[in-house]
Amino acid sequence: MSSLAVLMALRVRGRATPAAIAAAAGVTLGEARARVSEAVAAGLADADADRFVLSAAGHTQLAALLAREALDREALDALYAAFLTNDACLKARITAWQLAAPRSHSGGAANGTGDAPADSAEAAAAFADLRAVAAEAREIAARLAAVVPRHAGYARRLGAAVDALAVGDTRFVASPRVDSLHQVWFELHQDLLVTLGRERAG
């Protein structure tokens, strides 16, 4: 697990536990803890209870590491344009699903953050549309990983979320309790913005 991967995970997450970093990077919890401890010792991260945040020095170091990263910037720019097109579609489909999904049997939130299965024609159609766009998002993530090898973790996690959606597990739309499609896609977007030195559109 590289220093760049650790610092980027902290940058993207804001406040991250070692477990979250391990999941993001595809490494063991022990390795994630060791790397975070090294970052804290080097002054690149600060401890905040059981979570860690990037320090000012960490932001500077991350920028320096990104500047030295060997990437095909032209290819990445082209893929980012494709990402943005899918991003707009994905957000629209997630919203449509959340509006159409039935309430959870426990009286909680709609299926985007709950566990109840879709049981209406409208919800089923919205879920089918979402899965189609999610499959496209998975392909874009895989193409990004071919240009930016450290993005392989996002591609892996996004693929797992898409696979879960394919068998009807609606928690993987946007539930904060799992590594959902919405969460992983958001993190990938943040990573791309930092890597490309761009600001998120308002």
- Two structure tokens written together for 67: 């500047």
Give the tokens for residue 88: 């707009």
- What does the pLDDT profile of the chain (202 residues) look like in tens digits? 688 988 999 999 888 899 888 888 778 899 989 999 999 999 999 998 889 999 999 999 999 999 999 899 999 999 999 999 999 999 999 999 999 887 542 233 444 444 444 458 888 999 999 999 999 999 999 999 999 999 999 999 999 999 999 999 999 999 988 999 999 999 999 999 999 998 665 4
Cβ–Cβ under 8 Å, residues 26 and 158: no
- The total domain count for the chain is 2
Q: Are residues 95 and 17 in the same domain?
A: no
* Domain contains 22: yes
Evaluate whether 76 touches 69 at the Cβ level (below 8 Å): no
Query: How far apart, in Å, are the Cα atoms of 22 and each of 28, 36, 63, 97, 143?
Result: 6, 10, 22, 30, 23
DSSP state for residue 151 in the 8-state scheme: G
Residues 45 and 92 reside in one and the same domain: no
Beta bridge partners of 47: 52
Torsion of CA 9, 14, 18, 21, to 10 degrees: -20
Q: Are 192 and 83 in contact (CB under 8 A)?
A: yes
Q: Are 53 and 45 in contact (CB under 8 A)?
A: yes
Q: What is the CATH number of the domain that holds 54?
A: 1.10.10.10
Q: Give the domain extent around 18.
A: 3-68
The amino acid occupying position 77 is D
- In 3D, which of 96, 135, 128 has the Cα closest to residue 112? 96
E strands, 37-98, where? Answer: 45-48, 51-54
Choosing from 34, 68, 102, the residue where a domain stops is 68
Question: Are 136 and 172 part of one and the same domain?
Answer: yes
Q: Do 46 and 76 contact (CB within 8 A), yes or no?
A: no
47 and 82 both lie in a single domain:
no
